[in-house]
């Protein structure tokens, strides 16, 4: 009885054309404009997954989750039970669904829609010790570029992770997948290990959004491309501990990030997944370049 999809995220940004350029280089495509917002999507999808509204500074405009079929009524009931009042949609926001604020004041739209999944890739053919998947065929990819397939998750800064966890699990029905102490928590509403993550900070903020790509090769060529087009260095390539995915974080024009991910933990709905509380020193990454000091910086508080 819950939300079942992270549909899109919307940011306010001081210069929409700079934002559009960044996300195009990252591999998204623009959908013809409607209203105030620039709307972008992975090339194989129909619906927007990123919206950029004009604003004074970069900040989250809203998050949209999907509650298809009977889930919508169930979500309304659990919001009412949790004492969360519906509010009017922000100006210029997409029509439809219901609007609430989470305890940090972030606008949240719950829409009667399910996930939009991209067409499946051909299986990867990787040779490994004792397991040959590619025979008499060259494996080095030709003409490769990073092609985001879908939005996977968003990570928000929060001054109170436990209060946010309580809201997103109790009122919206998400589940806790893993956490590290009171520093970071990972919640899911699909078979992805996480669709929303919460990182402790002195105030709210948007840290990153993450898009699935088809291979670690795609992550690496995407990382190089973002540097080639003039982005500041981000972080990666590396492998996370929590969620297990390979990653590269491209630094966006406002000091937050867009992540490429591949090979994330998959958690079927009816399975005995036990959330773990990881020690701080072994929560972030198994290998990769040293963590840059700007990675955990909440530029919205500057
Ligand atoms: Fe991420």
pLDDT digits (tens, 9 = 90+) for 98-127: 999 999 999 999 999 999 999 999 999 999
Distances (CA, A) of 223 to 28, 214, 291, 296: 14, 14, 16, 19
* CB contact at 8 A, 179 and 228: no
What's the gap in Å between 270 CA and the centre of ligand 1? 24
Averaged confidence pLDDT in the chain: 97
Residue 174 has phi, psi (to 5 degrees) of -75, 165
Question: Is the predicted pLDDT of residue 53 greater than 80, yes or no?
Answer: yes
Global pTM reads 0.98
DSSP characters over 26-62: HT-EEEEEETTEEEEE-TT-SS-SEEEEE-SS-EEEE
- Distances, alpha carbon 284 to alpha carbons 132, 180, 207, 236, 267, in Å: 32, 9, 15, 12, 19
CA 156 to centroid of ligand 1, rounded, Å: 10
Beta bridge partners of 153: 210
User: How many angstroms separate the CA atoms of 62 and 19, rounded?
Assistant: 16
Distance 150 CA to ligand 1 centre (A): 13
Q: Is the pLDDT of residue 1 over 70?
A: no
Cα–ligand 1 centroid distance for 174 (angstroms): 17
Query: Cα of 219 to ligand 1 centre, how many Å?
Result: 13
- Give the closest residue to 209 by CA, choosing from 100, 97, 101, 60: 60
The CA 3 to ligand 1 mean position distance, Å, reads 20
Consecutive H or E run containing 7: strand 5-13
pLDDT confidence band for 45 (50 / 70 / 90): very high
How far apart CA 302 and CA 289 sit, in angstroms, is 26
Question: How far is ligand 1, taken at its centre, from the CA of residue 210, in Å?
Answer: 5
- Distance (Å, rounded) from C-alpha 200 to C-alpha 165? 12
Position 298 scores a pLDDT of: 98
Quote the ligand 1 centre to 267 CA distance (angstroms): 16
Please state the rounded mean pLDDT for residues 182-200: 98
Residue 35 has what pLDDT? 80
Name which of 213, 171, 170, 177 is nearest 196 in CA terms: 177
Measured distance CA(35)–CA(47) in Å, rounded: 16
pLDDT-wise least confident of 25-34, 76-85, 97-106, 178-187: 25-34
What pLDDT, on the 0 to 100 scale, is given for residue 143?
A: 93
* H/E element, 228: helix 216-228
252-264 residue pLDDT tens: 999 999 999 999 9
Per-residue confidence band for 32, with pLDDT thresholds at 50, 70 and 90: confident
Give the pLDDT band of residue 238 (cuts 50, 70, 90).
very high
For residue 109 the two structure tokens come to: 């739209």
Query: What is the number of other CB atoms lying within 10 angstroms of the CB of residue 94?
Result: 21
Dist. CA 198 → ligand 1 center (Å): 10
End-to-end, the C-alpha distance of the chain in Å comes to 39
pLDDT, residue 34, reads 72
| DSSP result, 276-299 | EE--GGGSSEEESSPPPTTTT--G
Q: CA–CA separation, 61 vs 36, rounded Å? A: 12
């Amino acid at each position: 009885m819950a939300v079942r999809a992270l549909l899109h995220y919307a940011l306010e940004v001081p210069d929409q054309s700079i934002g559009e350029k960044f996300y195009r280089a990252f591999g998204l495509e623009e959908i013809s404009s409607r209203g105030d917002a620039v709307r972008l999507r992975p090339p194989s999808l129909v619906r927007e997954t990123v919206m950029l509204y004009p604003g004074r500074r970069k900040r989250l405009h809203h998050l949209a989750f999907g509650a298809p079929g009977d889930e919508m009524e169930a979500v309304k009931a659990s919001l009412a039970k949790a004492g969360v009042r519906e509010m009017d949609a922000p100006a210029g926001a997409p029509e439809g669904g219901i609007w609430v604020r989470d305890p940090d004041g972030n606008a949240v739209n719950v829409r009667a829609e399910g996930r939009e999944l991209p067409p499946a890739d051909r299986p990867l053919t990787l040779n490994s010790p004792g397991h040959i998947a590619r025979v008499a065929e060259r494996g080095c990819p030709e003409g490769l570029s990073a092609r985001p397939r879908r939005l996977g998750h968003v990570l928000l800064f929060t001054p109170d992770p436990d209060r946010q966890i309580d809201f997103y699990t109790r009122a919206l029905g998400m589940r806790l997948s893993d956490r590290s102490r009171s520093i970071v928590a990972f919640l899911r509403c699909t078979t992805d290990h996480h669709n929303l993550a919460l990182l402790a900070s002195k105030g709210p903020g948007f840290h990153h959004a993450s898009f699935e790509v088809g291979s670690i090769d795609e992550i690496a060529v995407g990382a190089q491309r973002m540097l080639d087009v003039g982005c500041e260095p981000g972080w990666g390539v590396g492998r996370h501990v929590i969620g297990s995915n390979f990653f590269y974080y491209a630094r966006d024009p406002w000091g937050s990030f867009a992540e490429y991910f591949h090979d994330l933990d998959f958690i079927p709905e009816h399975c005995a997944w036990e959330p773990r509380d990881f020690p701080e020193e072994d929560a972030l990454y198994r290998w990769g370049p040293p963590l840059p000091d700007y990675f955990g910086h909440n530029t919205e508080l500057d």
